[in-house]
Amino acid sequence: MTTKTLRRHGPATLALIVVLLALPFAVGTAASSSSKPGKPSEAKPTIVLVHGAWADSSGWNDSIKKLQKKGYTALAVATPLRSLHGDAAYLSSVLDSIAGPIVLVGHSYGGMVLTNAATGNPNVKALVYIAAFAPDQGEKQIDLILKNPGSQIGPDTLTVRPYPGGLDSYITPSVFHRVFAHDVPKSTAAVMAATQRPFDLAILEELSGPPAWKTIPSWYLIATEDRAIPPATQRFMADRAGATTAEVRASHVPMNSRPSAVTDLILDAANAVG
């Protein structure tokens, strides 16, 4: 904004800009000064939730309600779903804006994003994977999808639409319930299918970077009836990451069908690092 523009809008606009520019510093200062000098902070970690492909932040609604009742601040991030490293950079920028400890939770592709975004961030104290990808360095998402038989995600179940810059994929609505969310009511799955966020197919071939789970404690919820990421692959990734593991009889979307199991694991992680 130029000096000429500031003069045109007057001192009130200038004052507002000064306040907005100072806000991140003010928020961080307030959070860090809430505890008494000389005593450890008792602030609960912020729970940051990252959705995956063909989904949106609303999938976390039930868990957020439960977390808020427990006194936690929760933030469900709207992931762009345009590129792995772009999405990770976006999430990293959100994490950088949060003062204090963070428990970072990801579902499905959200696990790919947080694995790359959290590396080197000292505020992230725990990673929680919910039926999620937990890649190692140099791995592709497509390789993990195909590692074991059982995934029903593929050319026969996806609808592809070109957009400026790439190819968007959607789970075909007629098979969404069977493939993605067979343990929620069909009417609920129909709404999820209609509101799903598209996923750029090029992401499947991107190489993952240094994984955060090598330096940050992790937890993993295995969905034993998952038809998107085979449970055998989930167990492999959880074991490799040294994660504290729980299992739930659920489809690929336990945060929708079994939100209590999801919330319990998040609380286990928060209590362990808090």
Structural domain includes residue 36 = no
In a domain, 214, yes or no: yes
pLDDT confidence of residue 12? 47
What CATH number does the domain containing 256 carry? 3.40.50.1820
Structural domain contains residue 251 = yes
* 194-238 pLDDT tens trace: 999 999 999 999 999 999 999 999 999 999 999 999 999 999 999
Would residue 83 count as lying in a domain?
yes
Predicted confidence at residue 145, as pLDDT, reads 96
pLDDT of 43: 85
What is the pairing mode between strands 158-163 and 166-171? antiparallel
Domain span at 247:
46-149+205-273
Give domain status of residue 182, yes or no: no
The region, left, alpha or beta by phi > 0 then psi within -120 to 50, assigned to residue 108 is: left
Tell me the CA distances in angstroms from 23 to 19, 34, 48, 180, one per residue in order.
Answer: 6, 17, 20, 41
pLDDT of residue 274: 77
Structural domain contains residue 179: no
User: What is the full per-residue pLDDT of the chain (274 aa) written as tens digits?
Assistant: 444 443 444 544 434 433 344 444 333 333 333 333 333 346 899 999 999 999 999 999 999 999 999 999 999 999 999 999 999 999 999 999 999 999 999 999 999 999 999 999 999 999 999 999 999 999 999 999 999 999 999 999 999 999 999 999 999 999 999 999 999 999 999 999 999 999 999 999 999 999 999 999 999 999 999 999 999 999 999 999 999 999 999 999 999 999 999 999 999 999 999 7
Q: Is residue 21 part of a domain?
A: no
Number of domains in the chain: 1
**pLDDT on residue 104:** 99
Classify residue 133: in a domain, yes or no: yes
Residue 30: per-residue pLDDT = 33
